[in-house]
Amino acid sequence: MAELRWNPLLKTYTMVADNRQNRPHLPEDWCPFCPGPGKKVPPNYDVYAYDNDFPALKPEPDEPNIQGTDLYKVEKNYGKCEVILYSPDHNITLPQLPVEHIFKLVNLWIERFEELSKDKRIKYIFPFENRGKEVGVTMFHPHGQLYAYSWIPLKLKVELDNCKEYYEEKEKCLICEMNKEEKEFQKRILFENDSFLVYLPFFTDYPYGAFIVSKSHKGNLSEFDEKEKWDLAEALKLLTGGFDLLFDKPFPYMMNIHQTPVNSEEYADSHKYYHFHIEFYPPLRDKDKIKWYASSEMGAWAAANTMAVEETAITLRNAIEKFKKIQ
């Protein structure tokens, strides 16, 4: 069974994909993403986009297994799901990669964004990474994913609508204003380089829920010049390296790249008011304590952060400085 089911309460789709039930828990001595005989990956690669073996969305979609109604609409599961391999080295992590290698990853994201956006049925391209068993990862080869949706998912739509409303009222970009306020306050800033500001925003759901935000008003990955791409690679390395030194253990997180939609009449002018940023959702609040995203957060979208980010910023900033010294 595979289709998109319309949720009339939230006006968004739920992806139904029972093939994902068959995803294996792989043995430690075998990995499909490591080069070798009989593998789908090339014998040599630096970074690589790999079609997901268990996709929720497909360019040749399945026929829905259930009939829709006026209330409960059903659509084909059109789209694309890709695995983005960071390295052929099974045991390396993102912060252990040199900046020049992460720069190649940024270029791969851009290449996939530009290629997938040519399909007029695709409306949103969403690179992300799940890291750690605490967020459900069963494949520990260094990798992220990319979903190309045929609609704009709800959380992204809410962000777009609020940024548009702010722009229409203030004639300013909301995220540019966030950058300005965080820069003036300083205490939540983790670090910055020429092109990106990295901070724990005032409102983040998680004790260490960092944002990487472009300093210039850019809407998506394809708008970055070579310097900005390099600075993004550096920012990713420093932040994730600092995460790992927080509690001296591999730090779990969900990393989500938020950018302008593609092929959307509704948001055709989103470059005016929406602003590229990366949101991190790390579930740890201490070395062995999880900040659970439970009923209030999930059921009401009413987040409750367990720690003040003005305090956690100090701890994470110190970890990042420590990481810089050992590079």
Q: Residue 17: how many CB atoms within 10 A of its CB?
A: 18
Does the active-site annotation cover 143?
A: yes
Measured CA to CA, the distance from residue 184 to residue 176 in angstroms comes to 12
Q: What is the pLDDT along the chain (327 residues), one digit of tens a residue?
A: 689 999 999 999 999 987 655 555 666 678 999 998 888 999 999 999 999 999 999 999 989 989 999 999 999 999 999 999 999 999 999 999 999 999 999 999 999 999 999 999 999 999 999 999 999 898 899 999 999 999 999 999 999 999 999 999 999 999 999 999 999 999 999 999 999 999 999 999 999 999 999 999 999 999 999 999 999 999 999 999 999 999 999 999 999 999 999 999 999 999 999 999 999 999 999 999 998 888 999 999 999 999 999 999 999 999 999 999 998
- pLDDT score recorded for residue 38: 82
Q: Find out whether 72 and 8 touch, Cβ atoms under 8 Å.
A: yes
- pLDDT score recorded for residue 327: 86
- The neighbouring-strand residues paired with 82 are 51, 146
Q: What are the boundaries of each domain within the chain?
A: 2-325
- pLDDT score recorded for residue 259: 98
How many Å separate Cα 301 from the centre of its chain? 19
Measured CA to CA, the distance from residue 203 to residue 309 in angstroms comes to 9
Helical packing angle, 99-116 and 226-246, nearest 10°: 120
- pLDDT score recorded for residue 247: 96
- pLDDT score recorded for residue 22: 57
- Tokens 């992204």 locate to 156
Measured CA to CA, the distance from residue 39 to residue 232 in angstroms comes to 31
Which of the residues 143, 258, 275, 277 is marked catalytic?
143
Q: pTM here?
A: 0.96
Q: Find out whether 5 and 56 touch, Cβ atoms under 8 Å.
A: no
- pLDDT score recorded for residue 1: 66
Please state which CATH number belongs to domain 2-325.
3.30.428.10
- pLDDT score recorded for residue 139: 87
Task: Please name the residues in contact with 11: beta carbons below 8 A apart, sequence gap of 6 or more.
Answer: 154
Measured CA to CA, the distance from residue 179 to residue 189 in angstroms comes to 10
Smallest Cα–Cα separation from 146: which of 114, 175, 121, 120? Answer: 114
